[in-house]
């Protein structure tokens, strides 16, 4: 079965602050996962990268067969497939 969400060695920094350091995981169709961790550990940043609200520094993200890190991606189409509800 092919993953509907796949992160492969994702790195993301804000200036000198490296937030995501080689994050990799897959979510299969019908699977439910939780991303947990301490405040400031990169959970929201990872989600923002999946929806391309933030650009990754390196690695690859795929959602429903679309490469999120592709500069030519249709963001409207991507965001029809991905929904994020932030706490605030």
pTM of the model: 0.86
pLDDT at position 67: 93
Residue 80's pLDDT is what? 84
Query: In this structure, is residue 32 part of a structural domain?
Result: yes
Provide block-wise average pLDDT over 10 residues at a time, the chain (88 residues). 90 96 94 89 92 94 90 87 74
- H-type alpha helices, 32-74: 43-50
In this structure, is residue 87 part of a structural domain? no
Identify the pLDDT of residue 1. 65
Q: In terms of C-beta density within 10 A (0-12 exposed, 13-18 middle, 19 or more buried), how is residue 50 classed?
A: buried
Q: Which domain holds residue 34?
A: 3-81
| Total domains in the fold of the chain | 1
Residue 38 located in a structural domain: yes
Assess if residue 73 is contained within a domain: yes
86: in domain: no
Contacts of 71 (CB under 8 A, 6+ apart): none
Q: Is 63 in a helix, a strand, or coil?
A: strand
Provide the CATH number for the domain around residue 8.
3.40.50.300
């Amino acid at each position: 079965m092919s993953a509907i969400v796949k992160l492969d060695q994702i790195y993301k920094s804000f200036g000198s602050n490296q937030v995501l350091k080689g994050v990799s995981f897959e979510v299969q169709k019908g699977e439910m996962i939780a991303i947990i961790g301490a405040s400031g550990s990169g959970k929201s940043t990872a989600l923002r990268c999946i929806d391309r609200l933030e650009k990754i520094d390196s690695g690859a993200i795929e959602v429903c067969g679309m490469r999120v890190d592709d500069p030519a991606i249709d963001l409207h189409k991507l965001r029809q497939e991905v929904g994020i509800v932030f706490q605030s």
